[in-house]
Amino acid sequence: MKNNHKTTRELQAENAELRDRLAEAEEVLQAIGSGAVDAVVVSGPEGEQVFTLRGAEHAYRVLVEAMNEGAATLSLDGAILYANASLAKMLKKPLEKIIGTSLRRYVAPEDLPLFDALLLQGAQTSSRGEITLKTNDAARLPAFMSISKLELEEAQALCIVATDLTEQKRNEEMVAAERLSRCIIEQAGEAIVVCDAAGRIIRASGAAHRLAGVNPIFQPFEEPYPLIREDNGQPFTLAPMLEDESFTGLEAALPRQDGRVSHLLLSAAPLKDGRGRIVGAVVTLTDITRRKRAEEGLIDAAAKWRTTFDSIVDAVSLMDREHTILQCNQAMADLVGKPFSEIVGRPCWEVVHGTTGPIEGCPSLRMLASRRRETLTLQMGDRWLHVIVDPVLSEAGEVTGGVHLFADITQRKRDEDKIRNLNTLLKAIKDINEVLLSVKSEPELFRQLCDSSIQIPYVRFAWIGLVEPESFAVKPVAWAGVEEGYLSATKVTYDDFPFGRGPTGAAVKTGQPVVVDDIETDPAFVPWREEARQRGYASFIALPMTHDGASLGTFNVYAGKKYAFGEEEIAYLQRVAGDIAVGVKSLRMEQELAQSLIKLQIMMIQTIEAISSMAELRDPYTAGHQQVVTRLALALAQEMGLAPDRTEGLRVASLIHDIGKIVVPAEILSRPGKISDIEMEIIRTHSQAGYEILKKIDFPWPVGQIVLQHHERLNGSGYPQGLKGSDILQEAKVLAVADVVEAMSSHRPYRPALGVEKALEEITLHKGVLYDAEVVDACMKLFTEKGFHLEN
């Protein structure tokens, strides 16, 4: 491929040469066809060769094959009888695939009528014209085609010569484009210059001449002078900037010979050759000097206005009728915590509140409707704001926008809240003092104190913890408010380890209240911070409960806001903690008086256990049976949620449920082998006998009845009374299941141990028939899910 970028004169000369070569080829072919020449000289790789025309057909073929133009002989209907390699190359198809086909197949559809006319005229005399051919790869190839008639011995034929006009067309287009671009540049009102790859200006419009004053603009662009970048004041070269893409909007300064400076806006696009290489550039220079001066004046005025605007302490913003913020001062940006770029151009509710629409009671909407000042007091985080919106009116009195002013009234609101909170705190102290005079137990005291504490508006959670000297733990004993598992998820001690170095541990060790104003930032609260954050705790105070110099525990209060505990609050709460300590001491003195009663109860249980052991001495094979049954029965009661008082009665009854076996002869109890019916009846009397022994003791529980009924069954098949369903005490139903499971799992003189699995099968099989369903379900859960074992 030749270089596409030639001068106009070179392109015109090349086209003339192509026309001469075409005319010469046609003349030679006509001379050969008519017999006007006797020999042909053909130039090839080995030099020139002379062919005589004694064999005209052979010389003709040699000549045609050596031609650069495409040549072929056709039948009168257009079928290709012969073609040279150049024609096959033009059509991009193997020569053997062309011979025998119609040349019409390779003519563009829109040129078929012209081609047919050329064939018809060529068959008469000769014809020529431009035809567009279709190549094998669907490309289009412009060609100049010459057609003449051949007189052969066998029949008439046509001779065609096709010259590829692609290069000629391209040259013509480039000449036209060159003329057009020159005309555009010369007539353009804008300052336009064209530079080559080295940056030297090869063409410039008249406006470019006038812009530069005189010669400076014609200096090569790769030299620093005269263009200077506006953004950094450095001289620059244009050529490197065109290596890849075009650019627009580059501002530069151009020093003039008269001492003035022109400010320019540059836009440039690279010129590329056929292989994509940059060979130059077209640059447009727009004079923006006046605009720059106006901008500088506006910038200066805007800077002064901005300084004044930003000096306003309150947050101010200007908005249009659609509530879009047009301007705001620095105080406004500080208030919302956003840069100006994220404020200007956005609706006021999006910037201030982060919502997609106006908030309830929006003063901007009310102002638009009322056309007068509207106000609103609202809270933003920890701050309270008084919002004032004034309308901006046109000369016609129409609302065109508004002015927002945000006055910070946080301190005033804090003072109001403080007074209100102190009044609430005083009421809570009054309630606490009343509690101290009325409650009779520590748990109730602690619970009511916590309940009273959370009545204070800002208190979110409160708990009381007592110290455990052995483990140095602060054990929670009561709480109220938003606990949500906080106490079970955290650990508090008063030792020197991490969980003992927090505010609660410090309060225990120092005897002084410890305040955490901000849980998020206080390093002492790190071990508990995440759990506190999840539950909305923001600040905290730990108050020691001390009496006579001894620390009993701490009163811990969590607030839902930061800095909730001021000097007054601390003083009042400290007094509450001291009152709690006094109350605890008083209750503990009462509890000490109750210890003797507890000791008597313990002695009673020990006596019952001793009686149980005495009864088992007569039956060594069932030794320990009553203790195991008692443990299982108590586990069942706990699983079922039986009341503590009834559970204690079940404990006593279980320990001595077989005491009636004292009346059964020992030889019957311990004799191996099958037991006779008479012996079984004697054994069954032990329930009644046990009742007769126990009914004379004034237990606080129905122990005698439980022992009497522990062999009764739901369907009435039990003994000794044959009771059914609800006539049987619940404690007796529990004891019955525990007795059966232990008995079947253990060895007896008359049979080997059957095992726990057989025992569970027994109670499951007869669930709801012999044994209470609730008790059976609880028993199965103990063994299958909770890992209960009889031997433990």
Confidence (pLDDT) at 615: 63
The answer as to whether 181 is a domain residue is no
Residue 444 CA to residue 592 CA, distance in Å, equals 17
Residue 217 CA to residue 228 CA, distance in Å, equals 13
Token couple for 522: 């206080």
The CB density around residue 707, as the number of other CB atoms within 10 Å, is: 30
Token couple for 667: 């030889």
The answer as to whether 579 is a domain residue is yes
Same domain, 144 and 209: no
Confidence (pLDDT) at 246: 67
Confidence (pLDDT) at 639: 93
Same domain, 199 and 158: no
Average pLDDT, the chain: 81
Same domain, 133 and 202: no
Confidence (pLDDT) at 24: 59
How far, CA to CA in Å, does 650 sit from each of 346, 464, 731, 745?
75, 34, 6, 21
Confidence (pLDDT) at 6: 53
What CATH number is attached to the domain comprising 94? 3.30.450.20
Question: Of the candidates 408, 436, 467, which is a domain's last residue?
Answer: 408
Same domain, 516 and 657: no
Q: Tell me the sheet residues that pair with 315.
A: 406
Is residue 390 scored above 90 in pLDDT? yes
Quick: pLDDT tens for 207-230: 777 776 644 444 444 444 356 666
| Cis peptide upstream of residue 226 (ω within 30 degrees of 0) | yes
Question: Of the candidates 356, 378, 408, which is a domain's last residue?
Answer: 408
Is residue 588 scored above 80 in pLDDT? no
Confidence (pLDDT) at 405: 92
Same domain, 480 and 384: no
Confidence (pLDDT) at 636: 95
Q: Tell me the sheet residues that pair with 158.
A: 74, 149
Number of domains in the chain: 5
Confidence (pLDDT) at 673: 72
More confident residue, 567 or 632: 632
How far, CA to CA in Å, does 366 sit from each of 357, 392, 398, 441?
14, 14, 15, 59
Same domain, 394 and 246: no
Closest CA to 119 of 78, 81, 163, 69: 78
Residue 455 CA to residue 557 CA, distance in Å, equals 12
Confidence (pLDDT) at 222: 46
Contacts of 433 (CB under 8 A, 6+ apart): 579
More confident residue, 310 or 590: 310
Token couple for 438: 């009325």
Confidence (pLDDT) at 696: 84
Q: 196 pLDDT band (50/70/90 cuts)?
A: confident
What CATH number is attached to the domain comprising 672? 1.10.3210.10
Confidence (pLDDT) at 619: 65
Same domain, 390 and 460: no
Q: 710 pLDDT band (50/70/90 cuts)?
A: very high
Same domain, 69 and 164: yes
What CATH number is attached to the domain comprising 486? 3.30.450.40
Q: Which residues of 577-603 are buried (b: 16+ CB within 10 A; e: fewer)?
A: bbbbbebbeebeeeeeeeeeeeeeeee
For 672, phi then psi, to 5°, come to -75, 165
pTM above 0.85, yes or no: no
Same domain, 403 and 444: no
Q: According to the per-residue pLDDT averaged within each range, which of 114-123, 558-567, 724-733 is highest?
A: 724-733
The answer as to whether 378 is a domain residue is yes
Quick: pLDDT tens for 78-107: 889 889 998 999 999 999 989 989 999 999
Same domain, 368 and 504: no
Looking at residue 658, the DSSP 8-state letter turns out to be T
What's the whole-number mean pLDDT along residues 163-184? 78
Confidence (pLDDT) at 427: 76
More confident residue, 494 or 15: 494
Q: According to the per-residue pLDDT averaged within each range, which of 216-225, 267-276, 677-686 is highest?
A: 677-686
Cα 459 from chain centroid (whole Å): 34
Of 120-134, 306-320, 334-348, 405-419, least confident by mean pLDDT is 405-419
Confidence (pLDDT) at 454: 86
Quick: pLDDT tens for 780-789: 999 999 989 8
Contact (Cβ atoms closer than 8 angstroms) between residue 448 and residue 438: no
Confidence (pLDDT) at 702: 93
Of 187-191, 289-293, 549-553, least confident by mean pLDDT is 187-191
Q: 465 pLDDT band (50/70/90 cuts)?
A: very high
How far, CA to CA in Å, does 24 sit from each of 18, 119, 148, 243?
10, 21, 15, 46
Q: Which domain holds residue 403?
A: 313-408
Same domain, 578 and 638: no
Confidence (pLDDT) at 54: 46
Residue 685 CA to residue 663 CA, distance in Å, equals 8
Quick: pLDDT tens for 528-577: 999 999 999 999 999 998 877 778 899 999 999 999 888 888 887 888 78
Residue 79 CA to residue 377 CA, distance in Å, equals 97
3-state secondary structure 443-499: HHHHHHHHHHHCCCCCEEEEEEEEEECCCCEEEEEEEEECCCCHHHHCCCECCCCHH
Quick: pLDDT tens for 121-163: 988 888 999 999 998 888 899 999 999 988 766 668 888 999 9
The answer as to whether 790 is a domain residue is no
3-state secondary structure 740-756: HHHHHHCCECCECCCCH
Looking at residue 584, the DSSP 8-state letter turns out to be H
The answer as to whether 330 is a domain residue is yes
Question: Of the candidates 115, 134, 169, which is a domain's last residue?
Answer: 169
Contact (Cβ atoms closer than 8 angstroms) between residue 489 and residue 495: no
Q: 779 pLDDT band (50/70/90 cuts)?
A: very high
Contact (Cβ atoms closer than 8 angstroms) between residue 429 and residue 576: yes
Residue 262 CA to residue 256 CA, distance in Å, equals 7
Residue 635 CA to residue 756 CA, distance in Å, equals 16
Radius of gyration of the chain (CA): 56
Same domain, 404 and 442: no
Confidence (pLDDT) at 324: 94
The answer as to whether 571 is a domain residue is yes
The answer as to whether 673 is a domain residue is yes
Q: 755 pLDDT band (50/70/90 cuts)?
A: confident
pLDDT > 90 in the chain, percent? 35
Q: According to the per-residue pLDDT averaged within each range, which of 63-77, 247-261, 412-426, 510-524 is highest?
A: 510-524
The answer as to whether 388 is a domain residue is yes
Is residue 251 scored above 70 in pLDDT? yes
Q: 682 pLDDT band (50/70/90 cuts)?
A: confident
Q: Tell me the sheet residues that pair with 476.
A: 465
